[in-house]
Amino acid sequence: MLRWLNKNNSSKAKATEIYGAVVAQARQPAFFGSGGVPDTMVGRYESIVLHMFLVMERLRGQIPVPDDVLRLLVEGFVTDIDDCMREIGVGDLKVGGHVRRAAAGLYERIAVYRAALETNTDVPVGALEDSFAAHGLIPDVGANEARAAMADYVSATQTALVRQNDDEVLQGAINFPAAPALSA
């Protein structure tokens, strides 16, 4: 029984560290404002979801991950959304619905981003950029430069994550590339 508890605590610690790294990167100021991501709740949510997707794909595809780390990572995301909803004053009766929509949105974006990247095998453009606009990551009409920069960032992040040591990724010591910088 103690082995099971220790394994569960180890997996939870890993998921917590990974989620912390995801949120820290997703909230980099360079993404917002001139980076094209609106500095709103929706923009921040979409930025976290994009980074969750990138890290989950790395974990899913190449690292022998303990079974529960991915589940605990998603649970950390859901708990964070729940806490944020309560913090901004959403009533208890409505929090569950918001959290369910946020979790469903995560899985929807994962499917959309995965399909977009499979469509664009060389440089992620086109379908990926369209998904940024459709989901509110970079919604402004005429923000094509920002969408292209974000698509380049996604490609650079995938490359950086693949090159990074498996143990570092599992410990949450993730070295993301710099956020795309655009002139204001």
pLDDT beyond 70 at 2: no
Radius of gyration of the chain (CA): 17
- CA angle 69/55/99 to nearest 5° reads 70
What CA–CA distance (Å, rounded) separates 176 from 178? 7
Total Cβ atoms within 10 A of residue 48: 21
pLDDT in tens, 11-45: 889 999 999 999 999 999 999 977 889 999 889 99
DSSP string, 12-28: HHHHHHHHHHHHHHHT-
Residue 32 DSSP SS3: strand
The model's pTM is: 0.87
Domain boundaries, the chain: 12-170
Which residues, in sequence order, are CB contacts of 87 under 8 Å at separation 6+? none
DSSP string, 90-126: --HHHHHHHHHHHHHHHHHHHHHHHHHHHH-SSS--T
pLDDT in tens, 137-154: 888 777 888 888 999 999
pLDDT beyond 70 at 1: no
| pLDDT on residue 123 | 46
What CA–CA distance (Å, rounded) separates 156 from 162? 10
Which residues, in sequence order, are CB contacts of 97 under 8 Å at separation 6+? none
pLDDT in tens, 89-126: 877 777 878 888 999 999 999 999 988 888 655 544 57
| pLDDT on residue 175 | 93
Stated as kind and residue range, the H or E segment containing 65 is: none
